[in-house]
């Protein structure tokens, strides 16, 4: 997994949606959206408009926007945000409310099923750091 942004990092991760969302990425680029931040700022109405041409799926655009919001609001790597989305965490608020042990167990199972042993397993300190950053962004106590 790509390393998440750390305090003091300047460059956001490059905008590279998963390969299976190539149509959606192409549609977004057609209208000048080529960053996670640009995608994160789109509202539902705009996503519907982008999908209306038939060149992209509205459902996939919504999932991509969720990933973009986790990347920009919490500072996660795109791969981390995608794993959280697949695990049922669709927003920074949802991550802030998550139980760390339960999330680690759930994501660990999902990660093993998706990647096997090719990716190092998640560890509790990393999940805690994600939750802490989400809570800081939401104004909640990080503890």
Residues 41-73: tens digit of each pLDDT = 999 999 999 999 999 999 999 999 999 999 999
Report the distance separating Cα 103 and Cα 54, nearest Å. 36
Q: Which residues lie closer than 8 Å to 21 by C-beta, 6 or more apart? A: 60, 64
Judged by average pLDDT, the poorest of 8-22, 26-40, 76-90, 119-133 is 8-22
**Band (112; pLDDT cuts 50, 70, 90):** confident
Structure confidence at residue 45 (pLDDT):
97
The per-residue pLDDT for 139 is 65
The pLDDT of residue 117: 76
Are 133 and 81 in contact, with CB atoms under 8 Å apart? no
- Predicted confidence (pLDDT) at residue 2 exceeds the cutoff of 50: no
pLDDT higher than threshold 60 for residue 143: no
Q: How far apart, in whole angstroms, are the C-alpha atoms of residue 138 and residue 143?
A: 13
Tell me what pLDDT residue 10 has.
56
């Amino acid at each position: 997994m790509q390393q998440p942004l750390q305090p003091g990092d300047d460059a956001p991760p490059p905008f590279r949606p998963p390969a299976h969302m190539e149509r959606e990425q192409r549609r977004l680029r057609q209208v000048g959206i080529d960053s996670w931040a640009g995608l994160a700022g789109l509202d539902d109405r705009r996503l519907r408009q982008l999908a209306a041409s038939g060149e992209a799926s509205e459902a996939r655009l919504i999932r991509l926007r969720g990933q973009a919001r986790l990347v920009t609001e919490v500072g996660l790597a795109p791969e981390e945000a995608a794993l959280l989305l697949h695990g049922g965490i669709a927003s920074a608020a949802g991550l802030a409310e998550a139980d760390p042990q339960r999330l680690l167990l759930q994501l660990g199972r999902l990660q093993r099923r998706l990647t096997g042993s090719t990716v190092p397993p998640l560890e509790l300190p990393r999940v805690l750091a994600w939750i802490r950053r989400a809570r800081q962004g939401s104004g909640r106590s990080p503890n």
